């Protein structure tokens, strides 16, 4: 497998750009032992106006909220982190990339009480194609309902994008992969449909879009929110409600959404073909409008894209 990070020279760490090779952590870092980190996945697109980041402020707000949920003070404001993301993209001379900020408990203490451990912040960027493949985006993927249930509100914080919580996604992802599928769909603790291992889910039935709501243990996806708005703007009804597993199999169309996967249709779920086994009309209409928004081709959603300024006010190279 080729190294996705080849060519990346700079990583932002605690206020400075440092050499890629020096961006390492100690084996006794708290987050390595206990999963005590929170992170974001953000994308920058190569638009006609230059590189632009999709809904950067909202991703950074979710990062702050995830950190707050786990009582991790971040030493940088959202504005400083936004500037740091842009600085890292510029330094690595990328036009389009994936952006991965992470806030984690670092080196200094051990044991479960985390509040004395330092909180480190890093931002990395790299070029990353569509997570579930271009072919999957065009023709749909095959997914499997996982035997693993999504983490629930009574033991963890589904709204937080926390590193340790992803062991749940990893179990589901491995299971689906070993069974020959491209993605896993997790049910929540009550047996209702929740989301993919790293995406939210939408079902189309009788011309309406249905997606699980805020109390369904979902991660409150930024692309989910964007797609709800786009679908409504296109004149479709969107309902947020509990979704029974059977509705997946009875659906006319199903798709997942996320920063990495963007909008990817499902063509098969377990051994059921969805619709006629090809992405449906509503999925394709919403996907086309969404892709236009992501790539800066849509005037209507231009405000969702933050252009990466050509130069920073103050270069931060260490």
Cα dist from 89 to 99, 109, 230, 241, 246, whole Å = 8, 32, 28, 38, 44
CB of 115 to ligand PMP, least distance (A): 26
| Distance of closest approach, residue 266 Cβ to ligand PMP, in angstroms | 15
Pick the piece of the chain touching ligand PMP (CB under 6 A) from 4-12, 96-104, 194-202, 229-237: 194-202
Catalytic residue, candidates 13, 137, 144, 161: 161
The rounded distance, in Å, linking the Cα atoms of 74 and 79 is: 12
Which of 195, 211, 254, 262: binder of ligand PMP (CB under 6 A)?
195
Q: Which residue reads 């499997």 in tokens?
A: 144
CB nearer ligand PMP, residue 36 or residue 259? 259
Q: What HEC string does the chain produce?
A: CCCCCCCCCEEEECCEEEEHHHCCCCCCCHHHHHCCEEECCEEEEEECCEEEEECHHHHHHHHHHHHHHCCCCCCCCHHHHHHHHHHHHHHCCCCCEEEEEEEEECCCCCCCCCCCCCEEEEEEEECCCCCCCHHHHHHCEEEEECCCCCCCCCCCCCCCCECCCHHHHHHHHHHHHHCCCCEEEEECCCCCEEEECCCEEEEEECCEEEECCCCCCCCCCHHHHHHHHHHHHCCCCEEECCCCHHHHHHCCEEEEEECCCEEEEEEEECCEECCCCCCCHHHHHHHHHHHHHHCCCCCCCHHHEEECCCCCCCCCEC
For residues 199 and 275, which CB has a smaller minimum distance to ligand PMP in the complex? 199
Q: Which residues inside 221-280 make contact with ligand PMP, applying CB under 6 A?
A: 221-224, 257-259
Does position 212 interact with ligand PMP (CB under 6 A)? The reply is no
By C-beta, is 118 or 164 nearer to ligand PMP?
A: 164
In the window 50-109, what residues touch ligand PMP (CB under 6 A)?
Answer: none
Q: Cβ(9)–Cβ(91) under 8 Å?
A: yes
- The verdict on whether 161 is a catalytic residue reads yes
Residue 23 CB, shortest distance to ligand PMP, in Å, is 22
Which residue stretch of 9-17, 193-201, 242-250, 283-291 sits at the interface with ligand PMP (rule: CB under 6 A)? 193-201
Nearest to ligand PMP of 258, 280 (CB atom)? 258
Residue 222 Cβ vs ligand PMP, minimum distance, rounded to whole Å = 4
Q: What minimum distance in Å lies between the beta carbon of 287 and ligand PMP?
A: 14
Interface residue with ligand PMP, options 64, 120, 183, 199 (CB under 6 A): 199
CB of 293 to ligand PMP, least distance (A): 13
Site string for ligand PMP, 161-180 (x = CB under 6 A): x-------x-----------
Only one of the segments 8-16, 94-102, 192-200, 268-276 lies at the binding site for ligand PMP (rule: CB under 6 A); that segment is: 192-200
Contact residues: ligand PMP, CB under 6 A: 41, 161, 169, 195, 198-200, 219, 221-224, 257-259
The residues carrying an active-site annotation are 161
């Amino acid at each position: 497998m080729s190294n996705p990070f080849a060519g990346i020279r700079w990583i932002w760490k605690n206020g400075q750009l440092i050499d890629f090779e020096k961006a390492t952590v100690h084996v006794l870092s708290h987050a390595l032992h206990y999963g005590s980190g929170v992170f974001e996945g953000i994308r920058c697109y190569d638009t006609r106006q230059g590189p632009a980041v999709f809904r950067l402020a909202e991703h950074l707000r979710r990062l702050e909220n995830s950190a707050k949920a786990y009582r991790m003070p971040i030493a940088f404001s959202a504005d400083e982190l936004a500037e740091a993301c842009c600085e890292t993209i510029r330094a690595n001379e990328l036009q389009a990339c994936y952006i991965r900020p992470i806030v984690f408990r670092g080196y200094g203490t051990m044991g479960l009480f985390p509040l004395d451990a330092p909180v480190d912040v890093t931002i990395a960027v790299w070029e990353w194609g569509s997570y579930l493949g271009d072919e999957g985006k065009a023709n749909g993927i095959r997914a499997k309902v996982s035997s693993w249930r999504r983490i629930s509100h009574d033991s963890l914080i589904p709204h937080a994008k926390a590193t340790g919580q992803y062991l749940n996604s990893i179990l589901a992802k491995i299971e689906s992969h070993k069974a020959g599928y491209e993605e896993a769909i997790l049910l929540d603790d009550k047996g209702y449909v929740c989301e993919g291992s790293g995406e939210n889910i939408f079902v189309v039935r009788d011309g309406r879009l249905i997606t699980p709501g805020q109390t369904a243990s979902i991660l409150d996806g930024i692309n989910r929110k964007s797609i709800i708005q786009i679908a409504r703007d296109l004149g479709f009804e969107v309902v947020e409600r509990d979704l029974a597993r059977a509705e997946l199999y009875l659906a006319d169309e199903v798709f997942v959404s996320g920063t990495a996967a963007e909008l990817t249709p499902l063509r098969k779920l377990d051994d059921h073909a969805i619709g006629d086994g090809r992405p449906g009309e509503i999925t394709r209409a919403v996907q086309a409008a969404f892709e236009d928004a992501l790539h800066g081709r849509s005037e209507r959603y231009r405000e969702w894209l933050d252009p990466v300024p050509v130069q920073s006010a103050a270069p931060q190279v260490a």
